[in-house]
Amino acid sequence: MRDYKNIIEEYRHADFEKRLYLFLSHRSLRDEFLEIDQSDTSVGFSAKPIKNKCGMCGNWGQSLIGALK
């Protein structure tokens, strides 16, 4: 069997389809894969600025809260 460190590095640099294949193929490494996915997601969302905010949806949260009161 391949070295676990190599598999984890391959997962870290893989695209979505390859990650899915590795996730399904290596059950014992799923916790590590999930940690990688979670850390990638938090960095990706915080690094991207929001552009072209929707004017229609601007205060939908406040409107929803007001309707529930």
**Residue in this structure with the two tokens 């389809």, named with its chain if needed:** 17
Cβ-Cβ contacts under 8 Å for 4 (sequence gap 6 or more): 29
Domain limits of the chain? 1-44
Indicate yes or no: pTM above 0.75: no
Return the half-sphere exposure (C-beta side, CA atoms, 13 A cut-off) of residue 31.
Answer: 1
- Give the residue from 30, 37, 29 showing the smallest Cα distance to 4: 29
Contact between 33 and 19 (Cβ < 8 Å): yes
Q: Which residue type occupies 17?
A: E
Query: Each residue's pLDDT tens digit in the chain (69 positions)?
Result: 579 999 999 999 999 999 999 999 999 999 999 999 998 866 555 555 556 666 656 666 666 666 666
